[in-house]
Amino acid sequence: MSMQTQERLGKIMVPIMAIFALGASQGGVNAGMATMSMAFPDAGANIAYIVSIVALGMIPSGIISGAVTGKFIKYRTSIIAAIVLYVISGCWPFIAQGTSFAALLVSRFIFGFAVGWSYPLAQALVFKSVADEHKRASWLGVGMCCFNLGSMIMEFAGGYLAVISWQACFLVYLIGIIPLVVVIFTLKEPETDAQQAEDLAKATGQAVKAKIPPITFCYMLMLTLVTGFAMPTILYCSFVIADPIVAGWILSAMTLVGAVSGLTLGPVYKKLGKWTLPVSILVLGVLYVAAALLSQPGSFNLALYAVAFLVGHWGFAIIIPGTGDMVTNLTPIAAATRAMGFNTAFHQLGCFIGTPIAALVMSLVGGASVIDVLLPTAIAIVVLGVIDLILVGCTKIEKYGDAYGKIDAGSAED
């Protein structure tokens, strides 16, 4: 790639990375949760839905966004509208002082809908802009870095705003104005998936199919399950570490690890190729098993636990963009936006089911504390890593991508 091409690609990526930074928005109001629970005493444990319902809103919007953007709505129009809705719905609890708990949850669902609408479009635009699989992996990793950096900024800002009031912490979403301005002034309207498919067809002399290969949904399902079983270890970190200040620092370090980890996806993918996913899942699972064993009463060691927890998080941070990269390698360009919409939906489903999975595991093992669910869920991740190893071994990537549909259907299915 020439220097001129690299410079042009860098400019293209600026607004796309700004959209990625809005993706990690659920935790922006975590610092105000305790005060919110006092404001809504009848909510009880349901107060946690203020965070988790955002993921629920992202599930349908990701699918719808992928289906209609570029086909019925222009990309720029779609993204700008989503960011405007992001800012308004995100700040709504501050705007509508005295809102009920039910209305608060509705505003958070709408906010999740806005996040879920824009986030897969960032992934799709990387897919559509970068043809080389190694450079695409690198940019998706940079997107993960921006995702985590955005989360860090929002968590810190939300903490300071929560000192004023729980309503004020929702003003953190005014940060959406920055990517909105960046998108308005720097994002060029891309070709639609159909136009790119037509260009490719002319260049190769072969029709490009617009079907998403069924095998991609296997990888998306793996993302759902791995995320769902990983969430208990992340959610219950503060139960393992009794000191809330130390727990806060560990979780902040986790976000930083996530940001740095994203930058490693490109080099790791260059070395491991399609094996990147199972390796990252197994690293996550094995180290979360170690963290779970170190969490047991009588065997707790803060330093070792922190190392296992944080290094293990490298795997988690790689799995998310790594799955997106695998989907891009398997999917024809004609189905790029739809595929990324489904990928976002499966990812957020995993985030949402983390708590129900923990509750189910706790009932099955008869645990007395949430710490009792950490080892079984971590072992489940190791099992999923082995399954993914087999799945990857059976996947011949050269049969897919823009070649999908050009070969005998019988030989295309793994």
Q: What is the pLDDT of residue 4?
A: 40
Predicted TM-score of the model (pTM): 0.86
Tell me: pLDDT of 90 over 90: yes
Note the pLDDT tens digit of each residue in 31-57: 677 778 788 888 776 777 888 888 889
Give the integer Cα–Cα distance in Å for 87 and 273. Answer: 38
The structure tokens listed for 1 are: 């790639």
* Average pLDDT in the chain: 87
Q: Of 50, 27, 28, 23, nearest to 39 (Cα)?
A: 50
Chain centre distance of CA 277: 15
For residues 28 and 169, the answer to whether their CB atoms sit within 8 Å is yes
Cα–Cα distance list, 357 to 39, 225, 289, 345 (Å): 28, 10, 17, 18
Residues 139-162: what's their mean pLDDT? 86
The structure tokens listed for 46 are: 């349901």
Note the pLDDT tens digit of each residue in 284-316: 999 999 999 998 877 788 889 899 999 999 999
Share of the chain above pLDDT 70, in %: 94
Tell me: pLDDT of 209 over 80: no
Helical axes 101-129 vs 133-164, angle rounded to 10°: 160
- Give the pLDDT band of residue 276 (cuts 50, 70, 90): very high
- Give the pLDDT band of residue 164 (cuts 50, 70, 90): confident
- Give the pLDDT band of residue 409 (cuts 50, 70, 90): very low
